[in-house]
A and B are shown apart, each in its own frame.
Chain A
Amino acid sequence: MRLEQCMRHVLAAVEAVLGQFRVADIKRESIVRKDELTLDYEVTTIVGLTGDANGNIAYSCSNETAKKLASMLMNGILVTEMNELGRSAIAELFNMISQNALFRMSSENARIDSSQPSVIAGENVMIILTFMSTYCVTYWTPFGKIEVSFAVEL
């Protein structure tokens, strides 16, 4: 499986899972390749991959977007601050997306294991996801911007 195919499975998973939560009107920008990736979002969820693909997938957004996504996951209960419950909901959402992507990849006989997601939140956050080249895609959703970064070697 090629890296681009892998990335497309991740993107298909993002759209499928958000679709399951009836998130419509999602706009996707084109895939951008970066030589090294530094993330400065308030909330980032990272899932590690090992096996036929080795690396990390990161999902990043602002605090406001994270609150709205958490609220969506909790059947519309208003989330006014990103507390432990909100972060747990965010972890669950991006875990679902990652598992959906891995299921799609397994249909091409790729054997990939994933680690539990880690949600990183804070102020003035600077994350160096990788020192290798990374594919990034920005989504515009009704909840705000979500950036998906795919730093994986096959």
Chain B
Amino acid sequence: MIERTPVLNLVTHLILLFGLAVAFVPMWLVFTASSLTIQEINAPPISFIPGDQLLVNLTAAWQRAELGTKLLNSLIVALAVATGKILIASLTAFALVYFRFPARMLIFWMIFATLMLPLEVRIVPTYAVAANALAPLQAILDVSGLSALWAYVTGVNLVMEWNLLNSYTGLILPLVATATGTFLFRQFYMTIPPEIVEAARMDGVGPLRFLRDMLIPLSRTNMAALFTIMFIYAWNQYLWPLLITTDRKGYGTAVMELKRLIPTASTTGGGTPEWNVAMAGCLIVMLPPLVIVALMQRYFVRGLIAADK
């Protein structure tokens, strides 16, 4: 639709610019704040002009919060969550769309229902499971009387325990198990024309080959999108890592450890709060998601141009 509406164009641009400002000003503030000295940052008017202390503050933040190991932890967790999510979601959706098995729709709706249960809602039971991942199995054995039978036969009490606290597995698994990706892949697979499936069957293709040769190449754009979303989602997790790690030195993640840079009465000991260092820490922690978005965005664009239909 082509229309000449100069006034409307101006208004829409103004709205867009306003939105951009709302999104961008806080980022700019983080950047300027992280480049000022401690005196400058605590002087009353907020400065919008960057200073020359950026490197000093970055180094201070890096050392104080031990960001080296923390960033590595975050990276491991975010990459594993994003990859695991794609693997599980694409396979689950494959099963749901292309195979007819009993209770298929029931299973789909059960998965779908978990969309309404974000991690924060189910955090207590999730923690209970993470504390002993075998507890549900143990409960089944206890209730069914199998463990009693085992104890009777062998004379040994069966107590299973698999503790996920303070481990990468514990940080990763609960974040992988969500329905978003499954739903996304299911919807995508359902747009693939059934004739292509039939043509592939005529060409002698079995299910796994079809997944490898057709579905995976066709859903590359979806995978890139899901990877980006899940990477940022996992990177930004705060509550779950806080809960499941007590060994902050070994398993703390970057976003969580930012807290250590926030000046409080106990850290400053009544001295001047070092917001400049805290902001420098923010800057460092923001960077990896930004890089991922920048890299993946190039990929989206290429995917959109190459594949029509």
Judge: A and B partners, yes or no: no
A interface list, Cβ under 8 A from B: none
B interface list, Cβ under 8 A from A: none
